[in-house]
Amino acid sequence: MDKLILIKYGELTTKKSNRLAFVKLLAKNIENILKDENYKLKYDRVRMYIECEDADTISLKLKNVFGIHGIVICHKVNNNVDEIKEKVLEILKNEKFNTFKVETKRALKSFEIHSQDFNRIIGGLILKNFECKVDVHNPDLLLKIEIRPEGTFIYTNEIEGIGGYPVGIQGKGMLMLSGGIDSPVSGYLTLKRGVDLECLYFESPPHTSIQAKNKVIELADIINKYSGNIKVNVVPFTKLQEAIYKNVDDNYVITIMRRMMYRIAEKVAKLHKCKIIINGESIGQVASQTLSSMGVINNVTNMPVIRPVACMDKLEIIEIARNIKTYDTSILPYEDCCTIFLPKHPVINPELDRCLYYESKFNYEELVLECVNNIEVITNLNNRNNDLL
């Protein structure tokens, strides 16, 4: 088989010390995404190759794998001038172009012809066999030839990879996943930095519906295309939420509710060996996301809380949501526990002392533990890797 997919790592290559660990994890993630395909994967510290029958299907799937920066469908021949010439002619027969440029990279220094000379030899061959001109600035067709110790690779165009780091290289984080627009985008951005996810969803039946829960599972499923390992932990929040509404003044209920969410998130995160909490908070978006509110709410945990969309405008978040295909699901109109019984005037500058006072009025610790102990874990997301393509 002379057709190969060459995978370029990009950012990975800058991490010299633990490069092999990166590459091994990337290989594992690729195997996960390609589990239904027929292929052979080979790799070393600098390159990864896939031999396969259906290079087009596989390269499309590889576009969802974080850590891949370039995907090249290429042809491999021996380091032999005649073989290279023959393959170039064969490849170009299927290409349409008026102008071209040849770029040779000679990684194998013992190869007898220098890069510039080789460009001229192959350029001459192309001019002789096709009706075309050379254009070194803006060619219709860029023919790349890489002469490496293991063989010569010839290809015409590189498909851009999704970038980022291999999912899992940074361990795991606990994503507070609601049915809104912001938190799935936050999850996607965190996955991109190499953090694998578990999700945490607070439901308050009968105040929130089964449709609201299914919507969250659907969102988890969509971002699971970039991981394959995501689970959803569903927290039964009703009793605790009702206790909050009974004991706390109207304008502080959201603040206290969010402090409880953080407490629960920290406990569940620790149980599942997650190193951070992630959520979709964005500065100034609602009363609970002013800087004062964030401070008072964040006060209940020492675990790092990452807010990937904190500094984005809603329109920027929506653009990402559309690209990753979570948007249409996010805008389905089902109530979340944060939007039921919304107070008329939620406090914008909450005071910590007031929070502590309200929390002293009821035994919230017991209710928090009850939430943690009665979580329903949903593991069987239908990992529909193909649908994104």
Residues engaged in binding ligand ATP (CB under 6 A): 176-178, 180-183, 200-202, 279-281, 285-286, 336-338
Residue closer to ligand ATP (CB basis): 102 or 303? 303
Residue closer to Mg ion (CB basis): 89 or 348? 348
Closest approach, Cβ 192 to ligand ATP, in A, equals: 17
Residue closer to ligand ATP (CB basis): 143 or 337? 337
Residue closer to ligand ATP (CB basis): 23 or 176? 176
The one of Mg ion, ligand ATP, none whose footprint includes residue 338, by CB under 5 to 8 A per kind, is ligand ATP
CA separation for the pair 387, 157 (Å, rounded): 25
Residue closer to Mg ion (CB basis): 182 or 359? 182
> Beta strand pairing status for 48-52 and 39-43?
antiparallel
Residue closer to Mg ion (CB basis): 55 or 257? 257
The one of ligand ATP, Mg ion, none whose footprint includes residue 169, by CB under 5 to 8 A per kind, is none
Burial zone of 382 (CB within 10 Å; 0-12 exposed, 13-18 middle, 19+ buried): exposed
Residue closer to ligand ATP (CB basis): 13 or 209? 209
The one of ligand ATP, Mg ion, none whose footprint includes residue 29, by CB under 5 to 8 A per kind, is none
Which residue's beta carbon is nearest to the bound ligand ATP? 180
Closest approach, Cβ 354 to ligand ATP, in A, equals: 21
Closest approach, Cβ 279 to Mg ion, in A, equals: 9
Residue closer to ligand ATP (CB basis): 81 or 318? 318
Q: How far is CA 122 from CA 88, 141, 149, 216, 383, in A?
A: 8, 14, 20, 56, 46
Closest approach, Cβ 182 to ligand ATP, in A, equals: 3
Cβ neighbours for 28, distance < 8 A, ≥ 6 positions apart: none
Residue 51 Cα to chain centre, angstroms: 25
Closest approach, Cβ 296 to Mg ion, in A, equals: 18
Closest approach, Cβ 180 to ligand ATP, in A, equals: 2
Closest approach, Cβ 335 to Mg ion, in A, equals: 15
The one of Mg ion, ligand ATP, none whose footprint includes residue 277, by CB under 5 to 8 A per kind, is none
State the DSSP string of 77-100.
Answer: E-S-HHHHHHHHHHHHTT---SEE
Helix (H, G, I), strand (E, B) or coil at 66: coil
Closest approach, Cβ 369 to Mg ion, in A, equals: 28
Looking at this protein, which amino acid is placed at residue 3?
K
Helix (H, G, I), strand (E, B) or coil at 364: helix
Residue closer to ligand ATP (CB basis): 156 or 183? 183
Closest approach, Cβ 366 to ligand ATP, in A, equals: 21
The one of ligand ATP, Mg ion, none whose footprint includes residue 177, by CB under 5 to 8 A per kind, is ligand ATP
The one of Mg ion, ligand ATP, none whose footprint includes residue 153, by CB under 5 to 8 A per kind, is none
The dihedral of CA 50, 54, 55, 58: what is its sign? negative
Q: Which two tokens stand for residue 40?
A: 């052979």
Helix (H, G, I), strand (E, B) or coil at 369: helix
76 DSSP β-pair partners: 153
The one of ligand ATP, Mg ion, none whose footprint includes residue 181, by CB under 5 to 8 A per kind, is ligand ATP
CA separation for the pair 305, 289 (Å, rounded): 13
CB 5 within 8 A of CB 41: no
CA separation for the pair 94, 104 (Å, rounded): 21
The one of ligand ATP, Mg ion, none whose footprint includes residue 336, by CB under 5 to 8 A per kind, is ligand ATP
**Residue ranges in contact with Mg ion by CB under 5 A:** 182
Specify the long-range contacts of residues 285-292, CB closer than 8 Å, at least 24 apart.
285/182, 285/314, 286/346, 287/254, 287/346, 287/347, 287/348, 288/254, 288/255, 288/258, 288/346, 290/348, 290/349, 292/348, 292/349, 292/350
